[in-house]
Structure 1
Amino acid sequence: MPLPLYLLALAVFAMGTSEFMLVGLVPAIAPDLDITVGAAGTLTSAFAIGMIVGAPLMAALARHWPVRSSLLGFIIAFAAAHAVGAVTTSFPVLFATRIVAALANAGFLAVALTAAAALVPPDRKGRALAVLLSGVTVATIVGVPGGAVLGSLLGWRATFWAVAALCLPAALGVLGGIPAGRTPGTGGDGPALRSELAQLRRPRLLLVMGLGAVVNAATFASFTFLAPVVTDTAGPGELWVPVALVLFGVGSFVGVTVAGRLSDRRPDAVIAVGGPLLLLGWPALAVWADRPLVLFSLVLAQGALSFALGSTLIARVLHEAGGAPTMAGSYATAALNIGAAVGPLIAATTLTTALGNRGPLWTSGLLVALALLVAFPLRAVITARSSGEVPRPSGKIPG
């Protein structure tokens, strides 16, 4: 894999840390800004909504900009939003910075996904996506627990400053490692924006986007509410929450890495094997959530299976959106974040039922079942070579 891919992954790591770090910071933000915990929790929703809206919007705005300048601009905006967030005493300002950060994150990821696909031959898009998404998985392993520890020791503002600081090496990496040139497909011979948006009428593209969103919704339905399962249902104590998060992150890294080597050549195998195992894992986790050893083992396994299946489906989005070379990354980003926003909302409704803390785990199982009911009969359609894919003569970003 080309070195620029790993430099892009470094920036994704910083942004992934920011996206998930509020899970451990909300209790500290609320009293500091004199707001309720519920109000502080809306900062997470603000980020998710910004990601969903920002992906296509930012990609459309940046489609005629040089790739390196686009990525660098998004990183600088992201860092600035965190610097402002770190010093403000106003909740509305902090809320606004989360939206700005999400827009910058969405724009970066949309352009980075497209750039990553252009850096490699078409038959290695899955591996390129795996490298890029490894930044997110490493964020769950190192960044989020590290942010929680830093927030506990130095206050939540220190975590915001740390994320801003992480953007510096990422910016230098983009500046030194990404070749100067325009986003693939732009320029005189590039398709018009209307033509790229028209790709969204293609049933196969909508199918894989929908399946990717549902699987990601299942993942975040349980990941978001994993802490109370560990502390209340399993009962080992709050100190074990970071352990569970790290295990889930380790599993997701393994899943993305393994699936990245299979999703280009054998996506059908990933769906056929990983899908049923993922489906069995969520109910098993719900049933045995009160047994810490089983809980932690299944958290590791579900992290791997969730990201293996999810990243494979998102790779199919990039394949199916080959006729939209500058917007394909935004379609993949939108699918990911629609799932990340909707999954926790659905899961939250189960917490007040008789299912209690296990409700989100059952929700994840039902969502995966829904995805597989659609995916299995259409597996040949999902994994076939896309008629909308535009072959690339080389693995370089066109200048």
Structure 2
Amino acid sequence: MPLPLYLLAVAVCAMGTSEFMLAGLVPDIASDLGVGVGTAGTLTSAFAIGMVVGAPLVAALARAWPRRTGLLAFVLAFAAAHAVGALTTSFPVLVATRVVAALANAGFLAVALTAAAALVPADRKGRALAVLLSGTTVATVAGVPGGALLGTLLGWRATFWAVALLCLPAALGVLAGIPAGRVRGAAGGGPSLSVELAQLRTARLLLVMLLGALVNASTFAGFTFLAPVVTDTAGLGELWVSVALVLFGSGSFVGVTVAGRLSDRRPAAVLAVGGPLLLVGWPALAVLADRPVALLTVVFVQGALSFALGSTLIARVLHEAAGAPTMAGSYATAALNVGAVVGPLVAASTLGTASGDLGPLWASGFLVALALLVAFSSRRVLSNLPADAGR
């Protein structure tokens, strides 16, 4: 895989760390800026909504830019937003920086997804996307726990500075390794924006976007509320929460790596085998949650299966949106983040039920079941799902 691809993954790691790190920083931010914890929690919502809205909007605005210009602008804007956030003493300004960071993140990921696919031959797109998305898994394994530790030792502002600094190697990688030319389809060389948006009327594209959103929703539903399962149901100490998160992230790294080698040639097989296993895994996690060894083992497996399916579906979104060369990445990004918004909301609605802390795990199973039901009912559309290498 080309070196610039790994440097793009560094930026994705920084952005993934930023997206997830607030879970451990909200109380300190609330105390420092004189707001309630609930108010400080809206920083997470601001980021997620900015990602969903920003992906297609920013990609459309930047579609005529050369890829290198767009990626560099987005990564520097992301870094600057965190620098301002680290310096501000105003909560509204901090909220604004989160929105700006989300827009930059959405724009960067939308362009990076298509840029990553363009850096390699068609039959290696899945592996290229696996490398890129591994930045998110590394963020889960190392970035988020490291950010939490840094915040504990030096304060939440130090974590914001660390994210900003982590963007600098990626900026250098963009300058050194991304071609300066325009994207095919931008500024007169290919389909117009209206033609690219018309791709959203394609049944198979909409279907794989929906499936990607549902699988990512199931991932975020269980992942977001994993901590109380570890401490209350399993009866482990708070330190084990970090262990569980690292195991989930390690599994996700394995899953995205293995799927990256299979999704180019056997995408249907990955979905057919991984989907039912993922469906079984979430209820199994709920049933075995009071057994620490089993809990931690299944957490690792669920991380692997979730990201194997998720990354394969995102690769399919890019493949099905090949007629939208400047917007395809934004469609994939929007699908991912719709899931990231919906999953925790569905999971949160179960906390007041008889299932208690285990409710989110059952919700994850429900969302996977829904994805499989949609896939089964649309099997004629998905039948003979082609591999990239075959086109």
TM bracket, shorter-chain basis: over 0.9
1:279 counterpart = 2:279: yes
Contact 1:221 1:360 in 2 (8 A): yes
1:174-228, Cα deviation, whole Å (9 max, x unpaired):
1111121112332433110000000001111100000000000000001111111
Offset, 1:288: 1.2
1:155 counterpart = 2:155: yes
Contact 1:316 1:382 in 2 (8 A): no
1:358 counterpart = 2:358: yes
Partner of 1:303: 303
RMSD: 1.7
Partner of 1:397: none
**Aligned ranges for residues 42-61 of structure 1 at < 5 Å?**
42-61=42-61
Contact 1:320 1:386 in 2 (8 A): no
When residues 168 and 55 of structure 1 are mapped into structure 2, their CA distance, relative to the original with a 3 A threshold, is same
Q: What is the rounded CA distance, in whole Å, between the counterparts of 1:227 and 1:329 in structure 2?
A: 32
Offset, 1:383: 6.2
Offset, 1:242: 0.8
Q: Which runs of 4+ in 1 moved over 3 A?
A: 376-381, 383-387
Contact 1:316 1:383 in 2 (8 A): no
1:111-149, Cα deviation, whole Å (9 max, x unpaired):
000111111222222111111100000010010000000
Contact 1:50 1:102 in 2 (8 A): yes
The amino acid across from 1:165 in the alignment is L
**Aligned ranges for residues 123-134 of structure 1 at < 5 Å?**
123-134=123-134
Partner of 1:202: 202
**Mind listing any 5+ residue stretches in structure 2 that lack a counterpart?**
none
When residues 233 and 385 of structure 1 are mapped into structure 2, their CA distance, relative to the original with a 3 A threshold, is closer
TM-score, normalised to structure 1, is 0.95
**Aligned ranges for residues 262-277 of structure 1 at < 5 Å?**
262-277=262-277
Partner of 1:102: 102
Contact 1:213 1:335 in 2 (8 A): yes
Match of 1:185, SS state, is: coil
Offset, 1:15: 0.7
Contact 2:203 2:381 in 1 (8 A): no
Partner of 1:229: 229
Q: How many residues align?
A: 391
1:226-279, Cα deviation, whole Å (9 max, x unpaired):
111111111111111111110000000000000011111111111111111100
1:82-111, Cα deviation, whole Å (9 max, x unpaired):
011111111111111100000000000000
When residues 335 and 149 of structure 1 are mapped into structure 2, their CA distance, relative to the original with a 3 A threshold, is same
Partner of 1:33: 33
The amino acid across from 2:62 in the alignment is A
Q: Percentage identity across aligned positions? A: 80
Q: What is the rounded CA distance, in whole Å, between the counterparts of 2:382 and 2:122 in structure 1?
A: 16
The amino acid across from 1:128 in the alignment is A
**Aligned ranges for residues 1-399 of structure 1 at < 5 Å?**
1-379=1-379, 381-382=381-382, 384=384
**Mind listing any 5+ residue stretches in structure 1 that lack a counterpart?**
393-399
Contact 2:151 2:158 in 1 (8 A): yes
1:282-304, Cα deviation, whole Å (9 max, x unpaired):
00101111111111101000000
1:311-364, Cα deviation, whole Å (9 max, x unpaired):
111111001000001000000000000000110011001111111110000000
